[in-house]
């Protein structure tokens, strides 16, 4: 397959803000652009100085760390979570906004980003499910003071995880208890809370805590999230700081609470039925709504690390030999340093491509939640109008809506019906909800997991320098920080388990098929973008999913099964690669469409597009390779390999019968590999070669995918060429 690309020069400078704003779709959002600049100033100023000064070397909460929180307040980062009437400046959904702020902070230090996010995490249960009074009260407390106001900002922490054995394992099981302390007739009940937390972020500076607790009293039903304040009667013990090896700019500890609070502190309120306090929302319902959004932001933090590594690595590679007596200025070694070598360039291309893909996936997920938030409210209101509220009734109603969503994507509808379904907010909600249920765990899982692996690669590209405290860009810190990002707010197994369920949702799969067609369509217009390769890999993934859902292993056991994580988790991993590469391609499409309208971007648009598209091609090829490997293992790996036994011999030629066949099929002897000798001898290998019965289609797909990789290494060569020429600043814009 020949790919004809217009010849353009190498990209001149690193992609700047104007390019990023288009790629990540906030070029028309001044509020977000300002938030980015503001967060960047804090990150590359105060935060970078703290890291350079060794502030990460202590687990204690220091005055400098406290000042960092105050810097967040003054720079508007804290207020980014709030509505304008609450002291914020961004109206509407804020998933993209928080993602961008965290991205900027994590560009320098993950702990700083976590410290900013932890406050939002504490407020999120109140924001998502709190009563109007709770929301108004706590948002106002947490909002930075307005000009002329003189008050302290109240900070929060979210306490879900508990000491061993439940820590991080199962958030559905709680040891924290809620009991009725006092309940006088006609008065608000007073509740006693016993809660021990483990790995609770921001606890050192928290004035209030949103804590998940279970009822320990027959007069309280189920579980809930309750708000605790430092001044409540009882003990508000922040516990000891956790001895983290990473993210030391954020506070983490194991607090112990034994407090009495009014029942009005139950997040979302409660009702009293037959003398029992029934919280309006269980802790599970609340954390589902919270984590669904915040996990995307964590994934973006790791993306920032990868992209932030590009400039320091280029500078290191180019300057590697400068200063040596024998290396004269102007010589190739002086000018290019290690970049004379293809390997150094191509490995950096891999890091860069991964960073672009993970950022694309994360920001796509964040934007999706911004779309979803108002639709979710509309859905709730519409269902309420129909008298449908909560639980099974809602699930039943939504099943009908999901069928409509699938029908809409089938392409079999007449125009009028299609328009009707397309304008149905419930259908739109179902579509986005199904996609969000996959994109969120995919972002958390792939961005952090693959991001950690690629950060190791970035560190290795700096040689011994990479693993020192002096390394420009704090790359070694970022490598270790990424490992925590893969773990907190739901470790990898939790994300894989969620994907196991959500990626088989019919609405998602219908969209996935449409996305595959979309990639083909892009490929026909933009050869060399990797879209065609990706479409083939997507087809292979879908085929394998379908195969595993119906096939059994050598022992007759079902392959796709909730408990069979060797299958389900592997498919989840493969899917993430595809989703990230797809989002990356779509972002570059956006740049091509909107770039010409921006004078700054237009200046070097053809070369920028060429480079970013080459990165797409590189990433699509890597993703396809991963998918092919995983799918092949699943399709063939559960068959028992034939052995040199009686059963295995049935698929072999006997040497004398082969001689006989040779008479009427000349040449057969040359192609027959599994031949049993007269004495019973056989070729020296594990057994007769395995057949491919039932999976010929897969072989065709794999063959096609292999040939679809055509051109991907040319793209990598081209991208590497650009990396060797692109202009970088004289120095990093933050200290080391």
Cα–Cα distance measured from residue 303 to residue 297, given in angstroms and rounded to the nearest whole number? 10
Residue 67 to residue 513: CA distance in whole angstroms:
50
Residues 6+ apart with CB under 8 A from 317: 336, 337, 338, 339, 344, 348, 461
- Candidates 35, 126, 572, 676: give the one binding other proteins (CB under 8 A): 35
Among 648, 618, 509, 634, CA closest to 574: 634
What 8-state DSSP symbol labels residue 462? Answer: T
List all residues 6 or more positions away from 642 whose beta carbon is below 8 Å from its beta carbon. Answer: 648, 651, 687, 688, 689, 690, 691
Q: Which is nearer to other proteins, 521 or 727 (CB)?
A: 727
Cα distances (angstroms) measured from residue 347 to each of 84, 101, 310, 339, 354: 45, 28, 11, 11, 11
Considering the rule CB under 8 A, would residue 31 count as an interface residue with other proteins? yes
- Min dist CB 596 to other proteins, Å, is 12
Complex with other proteins: residue 15 or 466, whichever CB lies closer: 15
Is residue 34 a contact point for other proteins (CB under 8 A)? yes
Return the range that interacts with other proteins (CB under 8 A); candidates 32-40, 335-343, 389-397, 543-551: 32-40
Binding-site member from 9, 16, 163, 411 for other proteins (CB under 8 A): 16
Give how far Cα 148 sits from Cα of 22, 67, 144, 524, Å: 37, 20, 11, 59
Cβ 182 to other proteins shortest distance, Å: 43
Select 31 or 450, whichever has its Cβ closest to other proteins.
31
Nearer to other proteins, 371 or 598 (CB): 598
139 vs 455, which CB is nearer to other proteins? 139
Distances (CA, A) of 713 to 617, 651, 708: 9, 39, 12
DSSP state of 24: T
- Least distance (Å) from other proteins to the CB of residue 314? 12
Contact residues for 618 (Cβ-Cβ < 8 A; gap 6+): 349, 350, 353, 530, 712, 715, 716, 719
Q: Which stretch binds other proteins (CB under 8 A): 27-35, 102-110, 483-491, 497-505?
A: 27-35
604 is a contact residue toward other proteins (CB under 8 A): yes
* Interface pick for other proteins out of 3, 5, 10, 13 (rule CB under 8 A): 13
The window from 355-363, 466-474, 502-510, 728-736 that contacts other proteins (CB under 8 A) reads 728-736
Question: Which of 22, 48, 68, 79 touches other proteins by CB under 8 A?
Answer: 79
Is position 603 an interface residue for other proteins (rule: CB under 8 A)?
yes
Min dist. Cβ of residue 25 to other proteins (A): 16
Residue 37 in the binding site for other proteins (CB under 8 A): yes
275 binds other proteins (CB under 8 A): no
Tell me which stretch binds other proteins (CB under 8 A): 72-80, 583-591, 639-647, 658-666: 72-80
DSSP state for residue 586 in the 8-state scheme: H
Residues 6 or more apart whose CB falls under 8 angstroms from that of 480 comprise 245, 246
Q: Which of 13, 37, 34, 44 is nearest to 106 (CA)?
A: 44
CA–CA dist 499, 492 (Å, integer): 11
Nearer to other proteins, 558 or 594 (CB): 594
139 touching other proteins, by CB under 8 A: no
How far, in Å, CA of 638 to CA of 254, rounded? 44
Residue 323 lies near other proteins (rule: CB under 8 A): yes
Among 49, 59, 74, 137, binds other proteins (CB under 8 A): 74
Residues 52-71 that bind other proteins (CB under 8 A): 71
Q: Give the binding-site size for other proteins (rule: CB under 8 A).
A: 35
> Cβ distance 448 to 490 under 8 Å?
no
DSSP code per residue over 57-121: G--S--HHHHHHHHHHHHTTTGGGGS-GGGT-S--S--HHHHHHHHHHHHTT-HHHHHHHHHHHH
Q: 619-658 mask for other proteins (x: CB under 8 A)?
A: ----------------------------------------
For other proteins, the closer CB: 34 or 699: 34
Q: Which is nearer to other proteins, 76 or 527 (CB)?
A: 76
Q: Please tell me whether residue 736 binds other proteins under the rule CB under 8 A.
A: no
Cα 307 to Cα 20, 113, 151, 475: the distances in Å are 12, 16, 38, 11
For the segment 341-400, give every residue that binds other proteins (CB under 8 A).
none
Alpha-carbon torsion, ordered 458, 461, 464, 466, to 10 deg: -30
Q: Is 105 in the site for other proteins (CB under 8 A)?
A: no
CB 193 within 8 A of CB 226: yes
Using DSSP's 3-state secondary structure scheme, residue 230 falls into coil
Taking contact as CB under 8 A, which single stretch among the options 364-372, 406-414, 597-605, 611-619 is the one that binds other proteins? 597-605
Q: Which residues bind other proteins (CB under 8 A)?
A: 12-13, 16-18, 30-31, 33-38, 41-42, 71, 74-76, 79-80, 89, 323, 598-600, 603-604, 727-733
């Amino acid at each position: 397959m020949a790919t004809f690309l217009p010849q353009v020069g190498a990209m001149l400078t690193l992609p700047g803000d104007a390019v990023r704003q288009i790629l990540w779709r906030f070029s028309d959002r001044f509020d977000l652009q300002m938030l980015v600049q503001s967060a960047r100033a804090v990150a590359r100023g105060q935060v970078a100085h703290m890291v350079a000064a060794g502030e990460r070397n202590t687990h204690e909460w220091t005055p400098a760390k406290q000042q960092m929180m105050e810097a967040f307040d003054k720079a508007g980062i804290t207020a980014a979570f709030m509505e304008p009437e609450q002291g914020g400046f961004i109206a509407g959904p804020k998933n993209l906004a928080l993602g961008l702020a965290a991205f900027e902070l994590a560009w320098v230090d993950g702990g700083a980003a976590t410290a900013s996010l932890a406050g939002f995490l504490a407020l999120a249960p109140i924001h998502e499910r709190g009563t109007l009074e709770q929301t108004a009260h706590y948002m106002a407390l947490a909002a930075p003071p307005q000009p002329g106001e003189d008050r302290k900002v109240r900070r929060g922490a979210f306490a879900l995880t508990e000491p061993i054995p439940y820590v991080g394992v199962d958030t559905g099981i709680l040891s924290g208890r809620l009991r009725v302390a006092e309940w006088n007739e006609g008065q608000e009940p007073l509740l006693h809370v016993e809660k021990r937390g483990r790995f609770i972020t921001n606890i050192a500076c928290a004035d209030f805590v949103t804590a998940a607790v279970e009822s320990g009293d027959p007069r309280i039903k189920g579980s809930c999230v309750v708000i605790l304040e430092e001044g409540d009667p009882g003990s508000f013990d922040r516990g000891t700081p956790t001895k983290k090896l990473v993210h030391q700019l954020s506070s983490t500890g194991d607090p112990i609470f034994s407090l009495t609070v009014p029942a009005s502190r139950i997040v979302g309120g409660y009702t009293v039925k037959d003398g029992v306090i029934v919280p309006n929302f269980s802790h599970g319902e609340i954390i589902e709504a919270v984590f669904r959004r915040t996990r995307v932001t964590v994934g973006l933090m790791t993306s920032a690390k990868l992209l932030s590594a590009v400039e320091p690595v280029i500078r290191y590679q180019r300057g590697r030999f400068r200063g040596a007596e024998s290396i004269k200025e102007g010589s190739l070694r002086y000018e290019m340093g290690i970049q004379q070598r293809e390997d150094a360039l191509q490995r950096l291309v891999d890091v860069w491509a991964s960073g672009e893909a993970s950022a694309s996936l994360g920001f796509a997920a964040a934007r999706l939640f911004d779309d979803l938030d108002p639709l979710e409210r509309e859905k709730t209101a519409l269902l309420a109008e129909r008298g449908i509220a909560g639980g099974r009734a809602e699930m039943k109603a939504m099943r009908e809506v999901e069928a409509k969503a699938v029908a809409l994507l089938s392409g079999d509808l007449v125009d009028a019906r299609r328009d009707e379904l397309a304008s149905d907010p419930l259908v739109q909600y179902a579509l986005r909800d199904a996609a969000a249920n996959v994109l969120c765990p995919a972002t958390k899982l792939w961005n952090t997991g693959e991001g950690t692996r690629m950060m190791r690669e970035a560190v290795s590209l700096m040689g011994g320098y990479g693993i020192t405290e002096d390394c420009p860009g704090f790359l070694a810190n970022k490598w270790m920080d990424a490992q925590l990002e893969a773990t907190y707010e739901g470790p990898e197994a939790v994300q894989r388990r969620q994907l196991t369920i959500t990626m088989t949702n019919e609405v998602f799969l219908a969209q996935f098929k449409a996305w595959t067609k979309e990639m083909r369509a892009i490929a026909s217009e933009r050869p060399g973008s990797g879209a065609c390769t990706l479409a083939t890999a997507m087809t292979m993934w879908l085929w394998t999913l379908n195969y595993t859902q119906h096939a059994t292993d050598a022992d007759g056991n079902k392959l796709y099964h909730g408990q069979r994580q060797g299958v389900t988790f592997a498919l989840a991993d493969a899917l993430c690669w595809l989703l990230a590469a797809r989002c990356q391609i779509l972002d570059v499409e956006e740049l091509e469409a909107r770039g010409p309208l921006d004078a700054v971007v237009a200046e070097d648009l053809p070369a920028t597009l060429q480079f970013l598209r080459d990165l797409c091609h590189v990433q699509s090829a890597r993703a396809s390779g991963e998918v092919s490997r995983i799918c092949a293992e699943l399709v063939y790996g559960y068959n028992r390999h034939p052995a040199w036994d009686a059963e295995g011999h049935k698929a072999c030629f006997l040497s004398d019968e082969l001689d006989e066949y040779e008479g009427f099929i000349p040449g057969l002897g040359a192609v027959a590999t599994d031949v049993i000798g007269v004495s019973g001898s056989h070729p020296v290998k594990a057994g007769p070669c395995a057949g491919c019965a039932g999976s010929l289609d897969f072989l065709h797909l794999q063959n096609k995918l292999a040939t679809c990789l055509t051109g991907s290494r040319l793209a990598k060569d081209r991208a590497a060429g650009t990396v060797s020429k692109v202009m970088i600043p004289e120095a990093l814009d933050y200290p080391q």
